[in-house]
């Protein structure tokens, strides 16, 4: 398998080893530690009359040094701020994604 993937069932620290076997039966290996943490995305929001929305990130863990924050505001705009504000040009319903 050229690009394998694996889903760990539990959080924890795991040792992963990649071993390559050449055509002449020579081998080389690379070993690294993989840390699997539980992550839950969650947020609240508050809409003002001007169309500005304040999003409050309530995800776990909420540490910018440990995780990458990505917001999609549903109108073609994005943010990487932990708890951003966004002003919508048009009123309506939007599908917000935090990942």
CA distance 54 to 5: 37
Structural domain boundaries of the chain?
Answer: 43-98
Number of other residues whose CB lies within 10 A of the CB of residue 55? 20
CATH superfamily, with its number, for domain 43-98: Immunoglobulins (2.60.40.10)
Peptide bond into 95 cis (omega under 30): no
Give 53's strand partners: 47, 86
- Find out whether 81 and 57 touch, Cβ atoms under 8 Å: no
Print pLDDT tens along the chain (99 aa): 677 888 888 888 999 998 888 888 899 999 999 888 777 889 999 998 888 999 999 987 766 555 678 999 999 999 999 999 999 998 889 999 998
Report long-range pairs for 13-20 (Cβ below 8 Å, ≥24 apart). Answer: none
């Amino acid at each position: 398998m050229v690009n394998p993937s694996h889903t760990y069932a539990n959080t924890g620290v795991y040792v992963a080893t990649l071993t390559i076997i050449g055509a002449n039966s020579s081998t080389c290996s690379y070993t690294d530690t993989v840390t699997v943490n539980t992550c839950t995305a969650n947020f609240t929001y508050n809409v003002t009359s001007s169309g500005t929305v304040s999003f409050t990130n309530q995800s776990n863990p909420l540490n910018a040094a440990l995780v990458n924050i990505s917001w999609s505001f549903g109108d073609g705009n994005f943010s990487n701020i932990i708890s951003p504000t966004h002003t919508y040009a048009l009123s309506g319903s939007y599908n917000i994604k935090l990942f």
